[in-house]
Structure 1
Amino acid sequence: ELVKMLLPNISLEQFEELYHKQSALPPITSTNSNGITKEVDTSYIVHEKLTHIYWFIGVAPKEYQEMLAKWSLLKFEEHRSIIELLDILISYKLDYSKKE
């Protein structure tokens, strides 16, 4: 639904192609020398991505604030999925703006 709203002129096939072209995110975990693995807080990453989306696609300030507020309610895997989606959207918008 987010893709349909933000990219109304792109088909599902085109989006899937963009998704597969997108490079994988770096791990959002870190392991220290003792072998202890911890999850890295991704809030700052999404804040940065949402800021890019805000500028590139013109999300209204109220919607932007709502997105940030809802972030804290999500699970870690949902965070990762959203970060991946935002990376795809940003890459698409940057590629599209270069063609204009």
Structure 2
Amino acid sequence: MGKLVANVDDDVKARAAALYESMGMSLSTAVNMFLRQSLEEDGVPFRPRRYTGVRLTPTEKTRRAMVEAEAKELGLLPDDAVECRTEEEVREHLRKLRGHAA
């Protein structure tokens, strides 16, 4: 028998385990049922729908962080790059680079 490792939020795992335990089965049995039913249906065994409690579109802050991380990963941006969000921050950073006190 194969082993499956999945990353699941602690709260989701605990609540799902309690749910399936109340139905007389383990979380492992429930996952096996899901996978077997997926094979039977030749796809996801239910109609996936968006959960309205989760923000599916990244915020501007998240999007910027994702782009920055990818740029660092690709070597386009050094890991110690300075982020300047305003013109004043840019000027301050340039003064520091030139060795002038603020």
Normalising by structure 1, we get a TM-score of: 0.23
- Per residue, is there more helix in 1 or in 2? 1
Structure ID, larger Rg: 2
Q: Which has the higher contact order (CA 8 A, sep 6+)?
A: 1
